[in-house]
Amino acid sequence: MRQLRSGSRQLKRPADAAFGTTINSNDNDDDNGSKSNSNSSKTPTMSGTSSSGTGLRRQLRTDGGEDIRAAQRASDGQVQDLAAVDPAQWTAVTEHPGRLDLGSRLDKDSYLATRANILRLERGIAFDSRCRARASSLEKQANSIVRALRKRDEAQVYDCAEHRRGHAGQTHRRFAGDHFLSNLDLIDQTALFDVARHMPKGAHLHIHFNACLPPHVLLGVAKGMDRMFVTSDLPLVADGDCVNFDKCEVQFSILSPDKEKPGDLFSAGYQPRQTMRFAEFLRAFPRHYGRATADQWLADKLVFHEEEAYGLLQTAAGVGKV
């Protein structure tokens, strides 16, 4: 499928948005271009001896115990009144719908009270319940501001945007919960995104430094590297409808001389993952592909498009191979 990699890092980015890639030394790569685990000893673990690490482990153990007890309370809350119903009634109701007698213990008021208790217990084991319970006044204020900004974005950005045209001419209003690529043209107009742009990197759940860079920036950096090589899993030949140019999985690697496996990507005899200098690849590209320049073709390989991610016949597994 349509990928570009740097070593084992996929260089694929949403259109006009984050460019998720890193171009770095690849001397430790194996023959398949996958990064070796030579740096595994540097991976931080929870076994540190610092006082802060000890306190964190203690807090995690305490929280884990509380989670178990909260889950048990929620489970108990959902079965505590089942004894009020005769089990035989569950069979009877399937044969005679409408005859289920819940008895006096499950009148309307009791039901609503029990339901409210169950909801309270379920909120207590929600993933954010502990954060809400421990939130400072400043954190609560910040959360209220973010919630207000989301409502404003809904009214001023999504509700005001032109409806999308779908199947059989149907039109669909825009909404914040739609697919990321479907909303890409609106996200950078939102106040919430403006807040995210001003946050320190550590405040984000997950972001790569190079995810902030457009394709032409990284391609420009790669062009200036003498030891930058490009490989493919398919020969880039023009037979058929140049289908290999669409299907190929391209990888970038910085290699030492002993790691080179020279080959011509544009030859029918090219073997998967033979290496070709990036500078040589750029010079040869126009002779073999006339639909776009090398930069345009590579940039397109780097960009996720809505159709290839959410197409009718696409699957979650397929998106991972794009």
Q: Domain containing 199: what range? A: 147-206
Tally Cβ neighbours within 10 Å of residue 288: 14
pLDDT recorded at residue 301: 87
- At 119 the pLDDT is 85
155 and 236 inside one domain: no
pLDDT range class, residue 292, cuts 50, 70, 90: very high
Within-domain flag for 219: yes
Q: Are residues 95 and 154 in the same domain?
A: no
- Given a cut of 60, whether residue 104 has pLDDT beyond it is no
Q: With respect to residue 152, please indicate whether it lies within any of the assigned structural domains.
A: yes
Distance of CA 254 to the CA centre of its chain: 27
Q: Which of 206, 237, 255 is the last residue of a domain?
A: 206
Average pLDDT over residues 261-277: 97
Which tens digit of pLDDT belongs to each residue from 202-248?
666 666 666 678 889 989 999 999 999 999 999 999 887 899 999 99
Q: Is residue 222 part of a domain?
A: yes
State the Cα–Cα distance between residues 287 and 266, nearest whole angstrom.
9
User: What is the predicted pLDDT for the residue at 4?
Assistant: 42
pLDDT of the residue at 196? 87
Q: Identify the weakest region by mean pLDDT among 96-110, 119-133, 151-165, 269-283.
A: 96-110
pTM of the model: 0.58
- Tokens at residue 228, please? 């930058």
Amino acid (one-letter) located at 237: V
245 and 200 housed in the same domain: no
Instruction: Choose one of 82, 111, 133: the last residue of a domain.
Output: 133
101, 133, 165 - which closes a domain: 133
Q: Is residue 141 part of a domain?
A: no
Same domain, 75 and 153: no
- Least confident window among 41-45, 48-52, 249-253: 41-45
Same domain for 189 and 219: no
179 with 218, same domain: the answer is no
DSSP state of 154: I
Residues 215 and 310 in one domain: yes
Burial call 204-234: b when 16+ CB within 10 Å, e when fewer: eeeeeebbebebeebbeebeeeebbbbbbbb
Q: Are residues 152 and 115 in the same domain?
A: no
Q: 178 and 274: one domain?
A: no
pLDDT value at residue 87: 53
Q: Do the domain assignments include residue 99?
A: yes
pLDDT score of 97: 53
What would the pLDDT profile of 158-173 be if each residue is shown by its tens digit?
A: 999 999 998 888 999 9
Is the same domain home to 216 and 280? yes
Q: Are residues 70 and 123 in the same domain?
A: yes
Question: 293 and 218, same structural domain?
Answer: yes
Percent helix, strand and coil across the chain, each to the nearest 5: 50, 10, 40
- Is the confidence at residue 144, as pLDDT, over 60? yes
**pLDDT at 285 exceeding the cut of 50:** yes
Mean pLDDT comparison of 104-113, 127-136, 165-174, 299-308, highest-scoring range: 165-174
**Do 255 and 26 touch, CB atoms closer than 8 A?**
yes
Q: Select the more confidently predicted residue: 226 or 95.
A: 226
Pairwise CA distance, residues 92 & 102, whole Å: 13
Examine the pLDDT at 309 and tell me if it is beyond 70. Answer: yes
When the pLDDT of each residue in the chain is averaged and rounded to a whole number, the result is: 78
* Nearest partner of 250 among 48, 63, 72, 33, judged by Cα: 33
- Residue 276 belongs to some domain of the structure: yes
Task: Give the list of residues 6+ apart from residue 85 with CB closer than 8 angstroms, or none.
Answer: 100, 102, 103, 106
139 within domain boundaries: no
Residue 277 lies in a domain: yes
- 267: which residues sit within 8 A by CB, 6+ positions away? 235, 237
Question: Domain tally for the chain?
Answer: 3
Q: Which residue has the higher pLDDT, 85 or 68?
A: 68
pLDDT in tens, 170-212: 999 999 999 999 999 999 999 999 998 888 866 666 666 666 7
CA distance 42 to 170: 54
